[in-house]
Chain A
Amino acid sequence: MYEAATPHISKEHREFLKKVKRKNVLIRVTQFALLIVFFATWEIVARYKIVDPFLVSQPSRMLKTMMILSQNGSLFMHIWVTLSETIIGFTLGTVIGMIIAILLWWSDFLSKVAEPYLVVLNSLPKIALGPIFIVWMGNGEAPIITMALAISLIVTIISLQTGFKEVDDEKIKLLKTFGATKMQILTKCILPASIPTIISAIKINIGLSWVGVITGEFLVSKAGLGYLIVYGGQIFKLDLVMTSVLILSILSALMYIFIVYLEKKLIRWR
């Protein structure tokens, strides 16, 4: 971007680059400082009993909980259960959503027929379906994954469908002047033009899949971070609850970073 490698940049330009760089460093430092101050304050107010550590837990106790859980191996088991459920739910939601959105793009008739159903399903709080999933599928991972799917699927369909429709009609006309088939219009234009939409749908989907999996685990589960949170809450072990929440936020952040990385790889032409 900046042609920093060129030997003859003017002094003014060098000053400008320095200023930009300094600002970026300052942003990063402040971000880290905020995090440290937050945890440090938490630790101090809990240690000096300004707030009751029984109710709010304490970073050092969370660390201890994490150690105990990881020593008997159950921490990774719980993480793995939740993570795998989320990845499966997210993948199913994205793939099935994409297929349905393509079908709806393909057939205007189908899309018109489906419209009221999509609207109703979209506004329905999917958590209400939880007990039904449990009755139908038992208390294993299936209802949890289905919950994640139910929460993310309709949103995926609607946002992809809107994205497909927003592709410039003139681009499609151009392909038609070449004599393109509908399949060619889909693969050469609609899908590649919608990559930014697809990525943003994926970003939303990741968040929603986490919501779906954790709610699913709240309702019925034998393992997973959602299970730990509910279990910890029931026996008033806030250390366990806070630790699980912390791990959860780290995991979802990591997954988000992975998608941003993917986005950079896929959209080189921007």
Chain B
Amino acid sequence: MNKIMVNLKDVSFNYHTLEGETEALKNISFDVYEGEFVGIIGPSGCGKSTLLSIISGLLKPSYGSVEVNGKIGYMLQKDHLFEWRNIWQNALLGLEIQKSLTEESKKYVEGLLVKYGLGEFKNHYPNQLSGGMRQRAALIRTLALKPDILLLDEAFSALDYQTRLAISDEVYKILKYEQKTAVIVTHDISEAISMCNRIVVLSNRPAHVKKIYDIVLTCEDRTPIGCRKAPEFREYFNSIWKELDVHV
């Protein structure tokens, strides 16, 4: 078996407000292995983002333990490129914060920008770029720190549908190429099936693990867009849809 990168054991999390205590997560346990893409899917407001914040160490779990073997990179819902910095300065932001700006790390970022088609846009400001390019720049800003595990928190949800398909395909390829492990939070069932090796389905609040799907698709072209043609795709979709039990 591959190396365990993230190990969650009976993780619970409670929010405290003046009105009282809200249970957000309850006894969540699962592992993420090296090179694996794990999707986390669940009803909106169930605490998916909280779970990512716990894995990244931004929040401490109320109970249970979190073990992470490796450096974590975080991708938020929007690209959050700083409007007052050009693409180059944005890409270096994380390195700047961690005071690890060296000739070598700069060269690495420069290489990433060139490799992923932003080399000529180094001196452009974010508002001069398309949504897809901005997302790529945000990804490079994260990759600049050479993380082992990437946490994607609805990272594509701010994009329109076509861009979103294209970008998730692109990000998938980049992450596979750079041999990263990823935990992907999404509310889009198709996106989860097409990108992930496993999908953790969470329940309503307090969220617990309802079911974990191993996604095995028979398709020649193992990319998110290629995968959507796989015969099993619909079965997974229907099964997860039922599991989510959405009532409006």
Contacts and interface: CB of A to CB of B under 8 A. Distances in A.
B76 A173 contact: yes
Interface residues of A, number: 21
B98 A179 contact: yes
Contacts of A138: none
B78 interface: yes
Interface string A179-211: 110001000110011010000000000000000
Question: Among the interface residues A168, A177, A189, A267, which one has the most CB atoms of the partner chain B within 10 A?
Answer: A177
Nearest to A184: B97
A32 B84 CA distance: 37
Contact of B80 (A168, A179, A184, A267): A168
A23 interface: no
B84 A269 contact: yes
B97 A179 contact: yes
Contacts, number: 52
B80 A178 contact: no
Contacts of B56: 177
B150 to A, nearest CB: 11
Contact of A178 (B85, B86, B93, B126): B93
A13 interface: no
B82 A178 contact: no
Interface in B65-79: 72-74, 76-78
Interface in A125-183: 168, 170-171, 173-180
A171 B96 CA distance: 15
A41 B94 CA distance: 64
A195 B56 CA distance: 31
A40 to B, nearest CB: 46
B145 interface: yes
Contact of B98 (A171, A178, A270): A178
B76 A189 contact: no
A188 B80 contact: no
Contacts of B98: 178-179
Interface residues of B, number: 23
B127 interface: yes
B221 interface: no
Contacts of A188: 82, 93, 96-97
Contact of B125 (A178, A189, A192, A269): A269
Contacts of B82: 171, 188-189, 192-193
B58 interface: yes
Interface in A112-133: none
A169 to B, nearest CB: 10
A270 B107 CA distance: 28
B188 interface: no
Contacts of A170: 76-78, 80
Contacts of A189: 82
A175 B73 CA distance: 12
B127 A178 contact: no
Given A170-B78, A173-B58, A177-B58, A195 B84 contact: yes
B83 interface: yes
A174 B83 contact: no
A269 B125 CA distance: 6
A270 to B, nearest CB: 8
Nearest to B96: A188
A188 B97 CA distance: 9
Question: Among the interface residues B72, B76, B80, B127, which one has the most CB atoms of the partner chain A within 10 A?
Answer: B80
A176 B76 contact: no
B124 to A, nearest CB: 10
Interface string B145-185: 10000000000000000000000000000000000000000
Nearest to B124: A269
B76 A175 contact: no
Contacts of B80: 168, 170-171, 174
A167 to B, nearest CB: 11
Nearest to A168: B80
Given A177-B58, A184-B97, 4 more contacts: A170-B77, A171-B82, A177-B76, A188-B93
Interface of A: 168, 170-171, 173-180, 184, 188-189, 192-193, 195, 267-270
9 contacts: A170-B76, A171-B80, A177-B56, A177-B74, A178-B94, A178-B145, A188-B93, A268-B125, A270-B127
